């Protein structure tokens, strides 16, 4: 290659003064794709460097241009080798473009070969590390299954022994005991862990005031918290108001019930004897007995005159979630997780009727006001049912909920009912036609117990969000939202003073 820009001279001067000419020769490095894939990025670079060294000898001028890559350290990465080569070639703009594009490729995770190798090594280490725990986990699982089997056997043995003790330890009736105390001849004789006895006075409700008129006069829109006291150290799940006195009974997960004076919160009496969580309590209409249902599948009757448990009713195959006395006081209904409801003779303790028809657990039971023979059950199969207690036949099914029902309640006139489910939906039903009147949402919280006020115009719902929702039963218009229970409100009842509630915090709160 001759520089044509030089001036023409004679041959002799040209031969003597001709400048040095740099010649660039394209060198082709034979290296197949298969060899590069098999060798890997770092190995292929080493191979290329070795071949460049071999070719650098001929021609000498061409080798001086490309030998810069061979001078890079053997442990250099692809990026470092390219940087070194471009710097040796004196191509700063090409180097700048290479650095920018290389950074983009790194940001886009388009360099998978080295990263994939590193991840593969890390995953292999993790697999090896966690494989060391598999024998320990298998041993723990074996021990857990053995413990569960032993516990099941112990529970069966305990139940058999308890039944044998109950059969052999029938309590004797006290001399001169009234006929109404006949349940003392049945079942368990667990002593009530008592505090001071009930105040002196009539235990019948002949002289009580008309609670309906008193409760109807309370304006739920103006309620304020007037009292609160700790009833249990663990969550309380149910409430019952004394039909004659200003007292409330609470049932708790600690397997006990306790009675308190309202509004002071002074403890009056407590009862122990259940071996499972206590989910339901109910007063006898004449305030002679208290019924309790618990997770031990037993229903207990407690006498206030004798101040102890006078009967334990067995028959359910799972925990009892609801109990309710008939208005006449002769019968007691119970709802259980065994998908059945039972009707008991309150005086003799015999099971008079077993109501079967629900496809899942029965969570609540309530008698229709007025002393008739109709009761309502609420089930986890998303339906509520009305039953004829005399025949044991289902009279009406209330369908429309999309989740398990938690509670059911009649209005004071017995012509309407409310049901609440686990998704926070509360429905009011017209029982003459079985039609849904209104649907109220407490979502996203689940709805617990629902109750009507004495006028039947206001519905109160306890929700798992800790709030008490007061709304009209006619159209669901919200009247008030009362906050208060941490961890969720479990139950609420309208009373002459206003409203009483309990919840997961174990407190009883009085609103007036």
Burial class of residue 135 in the structure, from the number of CB atoms within 10 Å of its CB (0-12 exposed, 13-18 middle, 19+ buried): exposed
Q: Say if residues 373 and 388 touch (Cβ distance below 8 Å).
A: yes
- pLDDT, residue 306, reads 86
Q: Among 33-47, 230-244, 252-266, 375-389, whose mean pLDDT is lowest?
A: 33-47
At residue 75 the predicted structure's pLDDT band, cuts being 50, 70 and 90, is: low
Question: What's the rounded Cα separation, in Å, for the pair 338 and 375?
Answer: 18
Higher pLDDT, 461 or 22: 461
| Tokens 């309530």 -> residue | 366
**Confidence class of residue 343 from pLDDT cuts 50, 70 and 90?**
very high
What are the tens digits of pLDDT across the range 458-486? Answer: 999 998 888 899 999 999 888 888 887 88
- So what's the pLDDT on residue 102? 82
Confidence of residue 55 (pLDDT cuts 50, 70, 90): low
Domain regions of the chain by residue span: 35-130, 187-511
Q: What is the CA radius of gyration of the chain?
A: 43
Sign for the CA dihedral angle at 402, 238, 210, 367 comes to: positive
Nearest to 85 by CA among 95, 74, 77: 95
Q: Which residue has the higher pLDDT, 165 or 312?
A: 312
What is the pLDDT at residue 52? 60
Report residue 154's pLDDT band, with 50, 70 and 90 as the boundaries.
Answer: confident
Closest CA to 442 of 416, 460, 417, 415: 460
pLDDT at 105 (0 to 100): 75
Residue 73 pLDDT class (50, 70, 90 cuts): low
155 band by pLDDT with thresholds 50, 70 and 90: low
Percent of the chain with pLDDT strictly greater than 90: 41
* 3-class secondary-structure state, position 174: coil
Q: What is the pLDDT of residue 386?
A: 95
Taking residues 56-65, report their average pLDDT: 46
Question: pLDDT tens-digit profile of 177-220?
Answer: 333 333 333 334 444 444 344 444 333 444 344 444 444 445 66
**Cβ atoms within 10 Å, residue 416:** 21
119-131 confidence digits (pLDDT tens): 888 889 988 888 8
259 - beta bridge partners?
A: 249, 269
pLDDT score recorded for residue 338? 94
Q: Cα–Cα distances in Å, from 7 out to 13, 14, 19? A: 11, 10, 12
- pLDDT grade for 77, boundaries at 50, 70 and 90: confident
Q: Which two tokens stand for residue 49?
A: 């460097």
Q: Assess contact for 247 and 262: CB atoms under 8 A.
A: yes
pLDDT of residue 502 exceeding 50:
yes
- Domain 187-511 fold is Methylamine Dehydrogenase; Chain H (2.130.10)
Report pLDDT for 235. Answer: 92
Per the prediction, the chain carries an average pLDDT of: 78
pLDDT higher than threshold 90 for residue 81: no
**pLDDT score at 159:** 62
> Given this model, what pLDDT does residue 142 score?
84
Q: Which has the closest alpha carbon to 351: 317, 379, 321, 384? A: 317
Would residue 279 be called left, alpha or beta, if left means φ above 0 and alpha means ψ between -120 and 50 degrees? alpha
């Amino acid at each position: 290659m001759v520089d044509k820009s030089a001036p023409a001279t004679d041959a002799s001067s040209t031969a003597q003064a001709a400048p040095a000419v740099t010649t660039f020769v394209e060198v082709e490095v034979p290296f197949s794709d298969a060899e590069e894939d098999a060798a890997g990025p770092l190995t292929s670079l080493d191979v290329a460097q070795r071949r460049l060294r071999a070719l650098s000898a001929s021609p000498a001028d061409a080798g001086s241009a490309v030998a810069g890559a061979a001078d890079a350290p053997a442990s250099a990465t692809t990026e470092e080798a390219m940087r070194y080569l471009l710097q040796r070639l004196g191509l700063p703009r090409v180097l700048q473009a290479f650095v920018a594009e290389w950074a983009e490729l790194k940001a886009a995770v388009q360099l998978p070969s080295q990263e994939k190798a590193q991840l593969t090594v890390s995953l292999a280490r993790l697999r090896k590390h966690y494989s060391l725990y598999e024998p320990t986990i298998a041993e723990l699982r074996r021990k857990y299954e053995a413990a569960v089997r032993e516990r099941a056997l112990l529970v069966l043995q305990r139940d058999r022994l308890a039944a044998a003790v109950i059969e052999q330890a029938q309590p004797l009736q006290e001399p001169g005991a009234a006929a109404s105390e006949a349940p003392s001849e049945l079942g368990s004789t667990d002593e009530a862990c008592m505090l001071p006895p009930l105040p002196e006075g009539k235990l019948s409700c002949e002289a009580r005031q008309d609670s309906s008129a008193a409760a109807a006069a309370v304006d739920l829109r103006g309620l304020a918290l007037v009292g609160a006291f700790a009833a249990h150290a663990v969550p309380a799940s149910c409430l019952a108001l004394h039909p004659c006195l200003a007292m409330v009974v609470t049932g708790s997960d600690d397997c006990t019930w306790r009675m308190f004076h309202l509004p002071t919160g002074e403890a009056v009496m407590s009862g122990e004897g259940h071996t499972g969580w206590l989910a339901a309590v109910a007063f006898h209409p004449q305030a002679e007995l208290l019924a309790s249902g618990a997770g031990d599948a037993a229903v207990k009757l407690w006498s206030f005159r004798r101040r102890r448990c006078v009967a334990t009713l067995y028959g359910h195959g799972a925990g009892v979630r609801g109990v309710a006395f008939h208005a006449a006081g002769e019968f007691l209904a119970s709802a259980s997780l065994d998908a059945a409801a039972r009707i008991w003779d309150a005086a003799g303790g015999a099971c008079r009727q077993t109501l079967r028809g629900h496809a899942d657990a029965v969570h609540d039971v309530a008698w229709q006001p007025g002393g008739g023979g109709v009761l309502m059950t609420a089930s986890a199969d998303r339906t509520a049912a009305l039953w004829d207690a005399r025949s044991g036949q289902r009279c009406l099914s209330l369908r429309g909920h999309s989740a398990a029902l938690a509670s059911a309640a009649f209005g004071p006139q017995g012509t309407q009912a409310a049901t609440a489910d686990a998704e926070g939906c509360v429905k009011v039903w017209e029982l003459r036609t079985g039609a849904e009147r209104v649907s109220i949402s407490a979502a996203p919280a689940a709805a617990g117990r629902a109750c009507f006020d004495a006028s039947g115009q206001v519905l109160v719902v306890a929700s798992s969000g800790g709030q008490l929702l007061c709304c009209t039963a006619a159209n669901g218009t919200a009247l008030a939202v009362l906050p208060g229970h941490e961890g969720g409100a479990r139950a609420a009842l309208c009373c002459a003073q206003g409203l009483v509630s309990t919840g997961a915090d174990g407190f009883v709160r009085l609103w007036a």
